[in-house]
Copies of this chain bind each other. A is one copy, B any other.
Amino acid sequence: MKAFEFLRPKRQEKPRNFGITVMLDKGIGAETVKDLMEIGSEYVDFVKFGWCTTTLCDRDLIKEKIEIYNSYDVKVMPGGTLFEVAYLKNKLDKYFEEAKDLGFEFIEISDGSINLSLDERSEIIENAIDEGFKVISEIGKKNPEIDKKLTPEKRVKIAKHDLNSGVEMVTIEARESGRNVGVYDQNGNVKKSEVEYLISKLPVKKVIWEAPQKDQQTYFIIRLGPNVNLGNIPPEDIIAVETIRRGLRGDTIGKVKLE
């Protein structure tokens, strides 16, 4: 039972197909993971081990962390950049093998720092699915100058292509900072017309909006409802994000509709 249970608006419990929260883990210790999951695991659906942080950690520790997360019904994936490094080194087979050995159920496919043609994207996605993974793809470039050249039309095209190729969801890149990339300007403000375009063209239940900042989370929750998918949530904010979803923080009190 929750504290003040009678004040807690209901929302779809885990496992959820949408309304998911993806937490960014950039290298927290196993004890910290346990302590965090003990208090907030209900509000985290996925954890992404940011970019290539995984390869700087001991195998056993990564396995242990994945097991802890899984024991709380939280799915884990390595960051897309790690896939990209494997791609650059022509080691995709070994990459999938090791990911499986370590216990990753999901894989992120992205081209934030490399270039993939649409054909290559679908080939790799299908390959990963054949290997037994569920795939989430990410759309956007790490370098702001290059990312700016990705028009909303192009983003939609890639997203649709990936969904048709079998990915579970597509992520709209915002990096750890949430600034100067994707749908955010250099101050982290939402580029509303770009967001509207994406909303109008894509199945929103399949879109994860990276939204590391509170005002970004609030924007998407008010615009798309409490069951919008949000990514790159810092560990210390997993409960805070859920309060925003449920209209339990000043920013959304009276502004969200829960069943």
Listed in ascending order, the chain A residues whose CB lies under 8 Å from chain B are: 1-8, 26-32, 34-36, 38-40, 42-43, 50-59, 61-62, 78, 81-82, 84-86, 88-89, 91, 94-95, 98-99, 102, 112-113, 142-143, 175-177, 214, 236-240, 242-243, 246, 248-251, 253-254
Contacts and interface: CB of A to CB of B under 8 A. Distances in A.
Contact of A56 (B2, B38, B84, B86): B2
Contacts of A236: 26-28
B113 A253 contact: yes
Given A7-B89, A55-B8, A58-B1, A254 B30 contact: no
16 contacts: A3-B57, A3-B59, A3-B102, A4-B55, A4-B78, A4-B86, A7-B55, A27-B238, A29-B34, A31-B35, A38-B61, A52-B243, A52-B246, A52-B249, A84-B253, A113-B254
Contacts of A7: 52, 55, 82, 85-86, 89, 91, 95
Given A26-B236, A52-B246, 5 more contacts: A6-B91, A6-B94, A27-B40, A32-B32, A52-B248
